Structure formats: structure tokens, C-alpha cells
Structure 1
Amino acid sequence: MNYKIEKNTVQETLIIPLYARKMCAEVYPSLYRDETALRLVNAVDYNFSALQKKSHRLMQRFGFLEVAMRQNDLAFEVREYLKSHPNAAVVNLGCGLDSTGRACDNGKCKLYNLDFPDVIAVRNELLPARDREKNIPCDLNDTSWFERIDASGGAVFFAAGVFYYFLKEQVKTLVRAMADAFPGAVLAFDAANEKAVKLMLKTWLKDAEIKDVGAYFAVSDAKREIGAWDSRLHIASRGYMLGYHDLKDPSVSGFFRFLARVGDGVMNMQIVKIGFEQTI
């Protein structure tokens, strides 16, 4: 029996990124694998025809490549941290139906998937927690979830496509609270400049009738802008299309490599990594 996803519900918002990950794995198999997305698309009862129709468009295909690179980059940062902290907590903030934590599982770490209660309800049906894994319903801005994370072996937090929907002040408050609660941990997430965020949020803002797009979280110079929040933050950033991978792959056209350079350059599309200073 397939799990039914209704139109115009919160559950439906999980379908678009899931479908994009499935398409990445099909269109760029040498760059990106996601068995879970392939399986889940078949496990839900949902009319994919509108998404399928759009999936042949050029910019849609580039969008799939963006999603693939972002997931790969964040997985790289998680694995990097696990090399020196094998028993760490791996925490997926705003997880949706993403299985990056499982893809990085070293057999020792603890996996946590956090999202709103109605999202976690769907996840519990489609991706029930395994050993060493917890699905936690919460609002990320209510930091009581901190207590649910066992960071005794360190912690690496990551967020894919999440902070664009947060106000700058919310991200700043959350990051500073995390620096207090998780010294020695790392947070990795994708970000872009104001121009890119405006484009990204255009339809969402219109639907939500939000006027002040400038209040939303956007970054041009991560070291300078985020570094000013707190002296305990150690910040690094790389372009997220080409910062980790040169994309010199036969499945990626020269035009898409050009767009990738534009994304990383003009739009400041980047992966930001924040290390929280270890307290003595």
C-alpha cells in the first residue's frame, strides 16, 4: 500500500526536493547516488505528472544538478568531521525525506533527523528510525531540541535548503545558541546572496504575502558577515557548485559548467561551515 500524499499540504512540499534527488541520481549517476529517493518516489501515492513534464526543461535539469552538488558537499563535510569524531552526533536540520545522515553512517555515529511534527509524521511512515537514529519533531527555533542530542562524542549539524526561509536574526540567534551548547561541533549549510534569495523565494513570498525579503537570511561574504556575530565562530566557505567538485564529467555540459560558475560567483551560492570554538 503506497503512502498517499495530498495536494496543497505540508507533505507535498517534501515531494519536490525528493523528486529532484531522484532525478539527480538518474540524470547524473556518476556524480550522485540516492537509492532512498529512488525507492521513496515509488513508495508514495502522488501524481508526479506536473513534475515529470517540467523535468525535461533545461533550467530544471540544472536545478537537479544544484541539488545533487549541495547534498554531495554537505555529505563531504559530515564525513570529514566523522574522521576525527567517529562517535559524533550527525544532525540533519530540516531533514524532510533526506537520507544524507544514513549515507554518511560509519557504523558508530548517532543520527538525528529534525523537522516540524507533520513532516516527521510522514518520515516515520516512510523512513522509520533505525538503530542509532532518532526522528525528532520540533521547531528549530525552539532550542529545547538541544537536550535531545547526545553530543558527548562531538556533533556535526547540516541543513540543506533550510535557512533561506529563516530571518537573519533567527539564524544568528540559533547559531549563537548552538555555539553555547555544542562547543567543538560544526555546522554546515548552503547559503546565497540577497539577489539569489529573492529569486528563490519569489513564489513562496508571494503566497505568504511577505513584503520584506531583505529580512531573510542571505550571505555574500560569510567570514565577514557571520564572523561579526560572535568571536567563537570559525568560518569557512566554498562555492557549492564548483568548490568541492570540478564538474568535468561527461554528463555535465559546458553550458551547465558556465551556469555553475555564475551561481558560485554572481549569486554567491556557497556551503558555509562554522566551527564552534572548543571551551577549555
Structure 2
Amino acid sequence: MNYKIEKNTVQETLIIPLYARKMCTELYPNLYRDETAVRLFGEIDYDFSALEKKSRSLMQRFGFLEVAMRQNDLAFEVRDYLRAHPNAAVVNLGCGLDATGRSCDNGSCKLYNLDFPDVIRVRDELLPAGPREENIPCDLNDTAWFDRIDASGGAIFFAAGVFYYFLREQVRALVQRMAAAFPGGVLVFDAANEKAVRLMLKTWIRDAKIKDVGAYFAVADAKAELGPWDSRLQISSRGYMLGYHDLKDPSVSGFFRFLARVGDRSMNMQIVRIGFGGEI
């Protein structure tokens, strides 16, 4: 029996990123693999026809490539942290139906997936927590969830496509509280400048039929803009299309590589890495 997701519900917002990860796996198999997304696609009862029609457009296919690169970059940062902290907490903020934590599992880390209760209900059905894994229903801005994270072996937090929908003050408050609660931990997330985020809100939010999102969080120069938030923060960033990978693969056209350069340079599409000073 497939899991039914109705149109115009909060749960429907999980479909677009899931479909994008499935399409990335099919279009760019040398660059990205998400077998969980492919499997879930077959287990969900939902009318994908509108998404399938759109998926043929050139810009939509570039959008899928953006998703693939973002997930790869975040996974790179998680694995990099785990090399030095094998027993760390790996925390997916605003997880949806994403299985990046599992794909980085080294056999000894602890996995946490956080999202709104409506989303976690779906996740519990489709991706029930495995060993050393916990699905936590919460509002990320209510930091009571801190108590659920065992960071005794360190902690790496990552957020894909999440902070754009936060007020700048909310991101700052959350980062400051995390720096105090998780010394020696790291937060990684994707960001872009104001021009790019405005464009994204016009397209993504319209496609996802999300209403009432007027606020957004944009970053052009991560170190200059976020550094003053707290003296404990160690901030760096890399372009998220080409900062981790040169995209020289037969599945990626020269035109897409050109668009990737434009994204990283003109739109400041980046992965921001914030280290929280102090010892674990």
C-alpha cells in the first residue's frame, strides 16, 4: 500500500526536493546517487505529472544539478567532520525525506533528523529511524531540541534549503545558542545573495505552493556578514556548484558549467561552514 500525499498540504512540500534528488540520480549518475529517493518515489501515491512535465525544461534540469551538488557538498562536510570525530552526532536540520545522514553513516556516529511534527509523521512512516538514529519533531527555533542531541563525541549540523525561510535575526539567535551549547561542533548550510534568493522565492515557492513567505535570509560575504555575530564563530564558505567539484563529467554540458560559474560568482551560491570554537 503506497503512502498517499494530498495536494496543497504541508506534506506536499516534501515532494519537490525528493523528486529533484530522484531526477539527479537518473540524470547525473556519475555525480550523485540517492537510492532512497528512487525507492521512496515508488512508495508514494501522488500525482507527479506536473513535475514530470516541468522536468523536461533545460532550467529545471540545471535546478536538479544544483540539488545534487548541494547534497554532495553537505555530505562531504559531514564525512570530513566524522573523520576526526567518529562518534559525533550528525544532525539534519529541516530533514524532510532526505537520507544524507544515513549515506554518511560510519557505523559509530549518532543520526538525528529534525523537522516539523507533520513532516516527521510522514518520515516515521516512510523512513522509520534505524539503529543510532532518531526522528525528532520540533520547531528549530525552539531550542528545547538541543537536549535530545548527544554531542559528547562532537556534533555536525547541516541544513539544505532551510535557512532561506528564516528571518536573519532567527538564524543569528539560533547560531549563537548553538555555539554556546555545542562547543567544538560545526554547522554547514547553503546560502545565496539577495538577488538569488529573491529569484528562488519566485520560482521554488510558487512551484511548492507555499504561501505567506515574505521573509528570507540571504548572504553575500559569509565571513564579513556573519563573523560579527559571535566571537566564537570560525566562518568559511565555498561556491556550491564548483567549490567542491569541477563538474567535468560527460553528463554536464558546457552550458551548465557556465551557469554553475554564474551561480557561484554572481549569485554567491555557497556552502557556509561555521565552526563553534572550544573543545568537545
TM above 0.5: yes
SS at structure 2 position matched to 1:228: helix
Q: What is the letter of the counterpart of residue 231 of structure 1?
A: S
Task: Give 1:133's aligned residue.
Answer: 133
Task: Give 2:274's aligned residue.
Answer: 274
Task: Give 2:239's aligned residue.
Answer: 239
Cα deviations by residue, 1:159-179 (Å, 9 ceiling, x for unpaired): 000000000000000000000
Q: TM-score if structure 2 supplies the norm length?
A: 0.97
Check whether the contact 2:236–2:274 (CA below 8 A) recurs between aligned residues. Answer: yes
Q: What is the letter of the counterpart of residue 87 of structure 2?
A: N
Matches within 5 A, 1:1-280: 1-202=1-202, 204=205, 208-209=211-212, 213=215, 216-278=216-278
Q: What is the letter of the counterpart of residue 208 of structure 1?
A: K
Deviation of the 1:202 alpha carbon = 2.2
Deviation of the 1:279 alpha carbon = 5.1
Runs of 4 or more, structure 1, over 4 Å off, are none
SS at structure 1 position matched to 2:106: coil
Distance 1:251 1:195, change over 3 A: same
1:218 and 1:61 map into 2 onto residues whose CA distance is: 24
SS at structure 2 position matched to 1:60: helix
Gaps of 5+ in 1: none
Cα deviations by residue, 1:177-200 (Å, 9 ceiling, x for unpaired): 000000000000000000011111
Cα deviations by residue, 1:257-278 (Å, 9 ceiling, x for unpaired): 0000000011000000000001
Q: TM-score if structure 1 supplies the norm length?
A: 0.97
1:156 and 1:87 map into 2 onto residues whose CA distance is: 11
2:213 and 2:15 map into 1 onto residues whose CA distance is: 24
1:167 and 1:278 map into 2 onto residues whose CA distance is: 27
2:269 and 2:78 map into 1 onto residues whose CA distance is: 19
Cα deviations by residue, 1:125-172 (Å, 9 ceiling, x for unpaired): 000000100000000000000000000000000000000000000000
SS at structure 2 position matched to 1:237: strand
Check whether the contact 2:110–2:133 (CA below 8 A) recurs between aligned residues. Answer: yes
1:202 and 1:55 map into 2 onto residues whose CA distance is: 18
2:262 and 2:59 map into 1 onto residues whose CA distance is: 14
What is the aligned length? 277
Q: What is the letter of the counterpart of residue 44 of structure 1?
A: I
Deviation of the 1:109 alpha carbon = 0.2
Q: What is the letter of the counterpart of residue 140 of structure 2?
A: L
Gaps of 5+ in 2: none
SS at structure 2 position matched to 1:112: strand
1:167 and 1:148 map into 2 onto residues whose CA distance is: 24
SS at structure 2 position matched to 1:208: coil
Check whether the contact 2:165–2:213 (CA below 8 A) recurs between aligned residues. Answer: no
Deviation of the 1:26 alpha carbon = 0.1
SS at structure 2 position matched to 1:183: coil
Deviation of the 1:208 alpha carbon = 3.2
RMSD across aligned C-alpha pairs, in angstroms?
A: 1.3
2:211 and 2:261 map into 1 onto residues whose CA distance is: 31
1:97 and 1:136 map into 2 onto residues whose CA distance is: 13
